[in-house]
Amino acid sequence: EAGVAQSPRYKIIEKRQSVAFWCNPISGHATLYWYQQILGQGPKLLIQFQNNGVVDDSQLPKDRFSAERLKGVDSTLKIQPAKLEDSAVYLCASSSRVPGLAFFGQGTRLTVV
Amino acid sequence: GIQVEQSPPDLILQEGANSTLRCNFSDSVNNLQWFHQNPWGQLINLFYIPSGTKQNGRLSATTVATERYSLLYISSSQTTDSGVYFCAVVGGGTSYGKLTFGQGTILTVHP
């Protein structure tokens, strides 16, 4: 069974630029999560999808972050414009049911300079 | 929302030693997972254990849901066990499975 795929693995951008991350969950998993992990901290949930719909985006900075999940499968997370404090690892995870076992991708390490 | 606290924050061991990591949570849970974050940043599933005890090789975990804690045991530690260990829970009051993480325990195993 293929795992959660994320790309790119690494990204370096200047502040005020835009960036997008992509996630392909495990086939058949209805729940998709995006987490932000700042160095030295535990992951923090940014947004959770159930199929196409958003069930939790309470900690998503909506003035600069956006996310979508097309056709209930792949998802993209965008930051525009980026700030220095957005430097972090962005993790995507999926689960077949809730509450259920969540599987994580390898993450995208973003550095904003 | 539910609070998750892990202890100790840092742990340094010699190879072959045993260790116990603790996760306390502030409310009832529907899900509890232990993860190991490897040096490349990926979160690797260790246990899905909302209650009871499970074992997998040198690792075992116990969750006492009524007392709101979980323990991860590592026996005969190896240098490859080094990394950050996270506990993550889904609070019993949530209906949509939001995983809330603790701050992690950084484990360093010296040869």
What pLDDT digit, counting tens, does each position of B8-34 carry? Answer: 999 999 999 999 999 999 998 888 999
Cα of B107 to nearest chain A Cα, Å: 13
Tell me the helices (H) and strands (E) count for chain A, helix number first. 0, 11
Q: Do A104 and B42 touch (CB under 8 A)?
A: yes
pLDDT (average), residues A95-111: 88
Half-sphere exposure of A110 (CA within 13 A, CB side): 29
Q: Provide the CB-side half-sphere exposure for B107 (13 A, CA).
A: 29
A55: nearest CB among B35, B90, B96: B96
| Interface contact flag, B103 A93, Cβ < 8 Å | no
At residue A86, φ and ψ (nearest 5 deg) are -80, -5
Report the gap between the CA of B31 and the closest CA in chain A (Å).
6
CB proximity B45 to A under 8 Å: yes
Mean pLDDT score of chain A? 94
Low-confidence stretches of chain B (pLDDT beneath 50): none
Do the bridges between strand A31-37 and strand A53-56 make them parallel or antiparallel, or are there none, so unpaired? unpaired
Kindly list the residues from chain B whose CB atom is less than 8 angstroms away from the CB atom of residue A44.
Answer: 101
Chain B residues with beta carbon closer than 8 angstroms to that of A110? none
Q: CA of A11: how far to CAs of A8, A110, B34, in Å?
A: 7, 5, 28
Contacts of B41 (CB under 8 A, 6+ apart): A37, A89, A106, A107, A109
pLDDT of residue B24: 98
Cα separation, A52 vs A58, whole angstroms: 17
Please list, in sequence order, all residues whose beta carbon lies within 8 angstroms of the beta carbon of residue A64, skipping any fewer than 6 positions away: A79, A80, A81, A82, A83, A86
Reported confidence tier of residue A89, pLDDT bands at 50, 70, 90: very high
Among A52, A78, A51, smallest CA distance to A67 is for: A78
A–B interface: beta-carbon pairs under 8 A: 67
